[in-house]
Every structure is written in C-alpha cells, then in structure tokens.
Amino acid sequence: MKKGRLVTVLLVIIIAASVSALLFYRSIQQKRDGLSALEPSVSVPTTEEMLTIDLYFTDREGSRLALERREIPVGFIDALVRSAIESLLSGPEKKHLTKTIPEGVQIRSMFVKDGTAYVDFTSSIAANHVGGAWTELLTIYSIVNTLTENFAEIGKVQLLIDGRESETLAGHVDISRPLLGKVQLLAGGW
C-alpha cells in the first residue's frame, strides 16, 4: 500500500517536471524577440509561466491596426491561439484602441494544421459586422496578424464562419482561402 502510494507520488512529480519542462521549451521556442522571451527563472516552479504576445486592434480613426501587449499563460499551440483570439474578442484594455470583432462572437472551433490555423467563428462575426471594406479588412487582419505574428507555427489563417468557408465577411474582402499576415496594415497602407 505505502509503496504504491510512494510510486504514485513519484510519478506525479515526474509528470509535473516533464510538463513544466515542455512548457518552458515551448515558451523559448516562441518567436518573440529577446525582450519578451521568458527568462529561465530560478524561482518557484509553481507560478504559471506567462508568454508575451502582441494583439492587433485598431486605432481611433479606424485607419490602421494598433498593438497591445499582453501576457497569456504558456501552453500548447491550440490553447495559445484560443487564448489570443479570446483576448481579441474581449477587446483592448487601452482606451484609445478599438475592438475589431463584433459583440457576441464566439469561437466554434479551431485547430492548427500544416502551418495553417483554421478558426471557425459563429455567424454573428458576419451578421453583426458593421460593414465597410476597410473596416472588414481591419477585422480580418487583426485576427490573421495576431496569429501569424505571434506564433512561429502559424504561417496562414483560414477563417471559417459557422463551419464553412465564406467568400467574404461583410461583402467586400476575399477570405475564401488561407490568408497570410499583412503587417503593412499597421502603417495604414496595403
């Protein structure tokens, strides 16, 4: 009995150690530069490792994408992506930035396969979108840029609406195929 319990405890420790090692490995694998890369901490391993990411919202004038730096818990890629998009859904903390995704939108499902992130949103992302070609572009690339700029594993993003590929989100911008990040939107140009 006692021996069995000891083995269990040991197993738990080993698993915990390897999980945290794995998580740490993933964190340094992150493509963020030196500033935000996590430093190996000598301190208590119980504190949750955090990862710095840049979320893409838009400026007051709706002219360009604008960054907000956030910390999200380190995890596997699917969890990181979900966490990043959920941050986009809940909106910016900075007052002068604006949320790019309509209220009430939820992630139906998402996965990363062969360098492409497939993100499936509920139909309100299209139905409740305010419209306008540029505004539509901002919504699309706030998602695409957030994923392609923060995660080395993601080169392209395929947006899905209600489980299906869609021609556009609000009637203007083509989203029928996987999209590459467009950092230029930051500068307001294309």
Partner 1 sequence: MVLALIMSVVFSTVSIEADPLSVIQSKGMINSPFAVLKRAGNRLELGSIVSAFSLKTSMDFLGERLDLVGEKGSVRLMIDSPLILSKGAYEVLSTPMRTEGGNILVPTDFLTKALPALLGRSAAVDEKGSTVLLGEEGTGAFEGVDPEGLVRLAAFIDRDKLLPPEKKKLVPRGLKVVVIDPGHGGRDKGAKGGTGTQEKDLVLSISQKLRTMLEEDLGVKVVLTRTADYFVGLKERTAIANNNRAELFLSIHANAAFRRSVRGYETYYLSFSATDLESSQVALLENRSLGVEGEQGEEALLEAILWDMAQLEYINQSGELAARVQQNLVKNAGGRDRGVRQAPLAVLMGARMPATLVEVGFITNPEQEIKLNRETYQTRLARSLFEAVSDYNRSLIRGELRGR
What kind and span of H or E run contains 50?
A: strand 50-58
Which residue lies nearer to partner 1 by CB, 16 or 130? 130
Residue number with CB closer to partner 1 (72 or 161): 161
Distance CA(109)–CA(134), nearest Å, equals 26
Residue 126's contacts (CB-CB under 8 Å, 6 or more residues apart) are: 161, 166, 169, 170
Q: Which is nearer to partner 1, 53 or 185 (CB)?
A: 185
**Cβ distance to partner 1 smaller for residue 52 or 116:** 116
* DSSP type of residue 187: G
Among left, alpha and beta (phi > 0; psi -120 to 50; other), residue 160 is beta
In angstroms, give the least distance from the CB of 112 to partner 1.
17
Smaller CB distance to partner 1: residue 74 or 157? 157
Structure tokens at 60: 């007051």
CB of 125 to partner 1, least distance (A): 14
Inter-axis angle of helices 77-90 and 133-150, nearest 10:
150
Rounded least distance, CB 30 to partner 1, Å: 23
Residue 187 C-beta: closest distance to partner 1, Å: 12
Q: Which residues bind partner 1 (CB under 8 A)?
A: 58, 60-63, 98-100, 130-135, 137-138, 156, 167-168, 170-174, 176-180, 189-190
Report CA 161 to chain centroid distance, whole Å. Answer: 17
Q: How far is the CB of 152 from partner 1 (least distance, A)?
A: 17
